[in-house]
Amino acid sequence: IHFGACILYSVMEYILKMTSFNPSGYSQSVDPCYNYTVLNDQWRSTNNTNTQDLHCDQSINWQGWYRLFLGSSNARIPERCIDSNRCGTHAPLWITQPHPSQPGETVTRTVCNNWSGSCCQFPSHTIQVKLCYGNYYVYKLERPSVCHLAYCAGIVAL
């Protein structure tokens, strides 16, 4: 019985760490690895060179965390300057530092854009990135400073 009580206590402690109480009486997950919005737009692909249908992420009211997909594949924001007029926009958004490498790790990364021969033409901003257990990333995205800027997505094996 004592051993079972320890396991029960450990499970309850884990559940309490992963949830928070909200005034409505319902439990809500605070870990973004389990509480995110799926962003699955084929036009965000680094392979997309179509300039007829341009997108702008400045008009989106970014709330919470997002997980990127391209079709059924996990995707992530590129860590390199992406050519202009890709990812369904004029100035593709990418991060200037590597993604986190340890599961559970959250980092802040600078976002840049490529336009007019400069890999960081317009004012940059920061986002948060977390590597989740299960080898996928979630992002706390922020609104870009101008149009036409949009977050890119690429498929890279973890």
Residue that wins the pLDDT comparison between 89 and 156? 89
Residue 11 has pLDDT above 70, yes or no: no
Does this model's pTM top 0.95? My answer is no
Closest CA to 31 of 140, 157, 155: 140
Residue 94 has pLDDT above 60, yes or no: yes
> What is the per-residue pLDDT for 135?
96
Alpha carbons 114 and 102: distance in angstroms, whole number: 29
Q: Which residues pair with 140 in a beta bridge?
A: 128
What residues contact 72, with CB distance under 8 A and at least 6 apart? none
Residue 13 has pLDDT above 60, yes or no: no
Reduced to 3 states, what is the DSSP secondary structure of residue 81?
coil
Residue that wins the pLDDT comparison between 15 and 48? 48
Structure tokens at 42: 């084929």
Domain ranges of the chain: 1-30, 31-151
